Structure formats: structure tokens, C-alpha cells
Amino acid sequence: MALTKDVELRANFLQEAAHLLTAYSPAGAAFLGSARDKLIEDADLELQPKEMEALRRQVCGACGNIMIPGWSCKVSIHSQRHTQEGKRKALPQKSTKADKATFYACARCHRETTQTFPPRSSRLLRKPIAQSDEKPVLDLKKSRHDDSKAPKTVNASSKQRQKARKGGLQAMLEKDKKPSSSPGELDLMDFAM
């Protein structure tokens, strides 16, 4: 356990050092990246599949180059369709899902690393049966009480809103008039000649 922890700490140090040196010395960063790969391989560390994919996205497996898209590697995404040529092309197929793949091409050694993405699975939405039976009963009781409170027309409610808005504006105008009539306050117009 202590040995693997020590190897992990060394690997993390080499990774951070390689990332720091990438801009100043790409060759030194590539050496540190390949040293990290060799350290992990020699120690027989078992990485999770996600960690291994992340490592292959960050560091070239051949030369150890730190893969920075657009600077030290090229990234392209392609969808690969599995179709057969010939007469079977005209027949409808059950499912022609496209598998997406990302290609990382190292600018130093020109090695291509391919990562494929599995097709998305369709998700089913399920509603609980118990909740759907209870809600309509409650909705029926509420709808009887709401009918008496609801206005008869939509125009009536819009007219009420318009009157309230108009009344609010008139109240604001009256409020503005009251402070100007007080004798103790001076206004800008008092100083005009």
C-alpha cells in the first residue's frame, strides 16, 4: 500500500512538472511525460478506464509529449457509421447509430490516439402509479372551489389590471406634487432668473 502511494506521488509530481515545463521546454516536458508513463508501467499500477483515457488525452503514449489541442496536437471528431455497401444499402436497417470518435494527432511524433464514445442509450421516463391516482381526486375538489372565485371573462381581469395600473400612476403623480408645494424646500426653478 505504501509502495503504490509513493509511486502515485512520484507520478503526480512528474505530471505537474511536465505541465509546467511544456511552454518553456517541450522536449523536457516530453521526457518527463514518458518517464511518468514508464513509472506507471513498471509499477504495474492498475488505472481505472476513465483515468487511462484521461492520461491518453493529456500525454502522447509514444513520445510523452503533453497534448495541448491546437498547440502540440491536433484534435478532430468524426462519426463512424457502420453501413455495408452494395444492395443492402437500400434496405432499411433497424438502427444506424453513429459512434463518435475523437482523434488526437501528436505534433511531435505524429502518432494518432483514438478515443471512441459509445452511443447514447435511450432513457425511459417512468411515473409512479400511486401518485397519479391520488392527484386527480384532489384536483377535482379544488376545481369546484376555484370556479366560484374565477372571473367570468378574461377581459374583465385585464380591465382590472389596467385600472390598478392607472390608479398607481395617478397616485405617483399626486405624491410628486405634494412635496413641491411645501414652503420650506427650494427647487432648481427657484434660482432661475
User: 3-state class of 114 per DSSP?
Assistant: strand
Q: Does residue 109 sit in the same domain as residue 176? A: no
Do 96 and 74 form a contact (C-beta atoms < 8 A)?
A: no
Q: Would 48 be classed as within a structural domain?
A: yes
CA dist 89 and 76 (Å) reads 27
Mapped onto helix, strand or coil, the DSSP state of residue 14 is helix
pTM of the full structure:
0.49
In this predicted structure, the answer to whether residue 87 has a pLDDT above a threshold of 60 is no
Question: Could you tell me which of 97, 73, 6 has the C-alpha nearest to residue 45?
Answer: 6
DSSP symbol at 190:
G
Q: For cell 395600473, what's the residue?
A: 165
What does the pLDDT look like over 50-75, one tens digit per residue?
888 888 888 888 888 888 888 888 88
Do 16 and 43 lie in one domain? The reply is yes
The boundaries of the domain holding residue 152 are 131-182
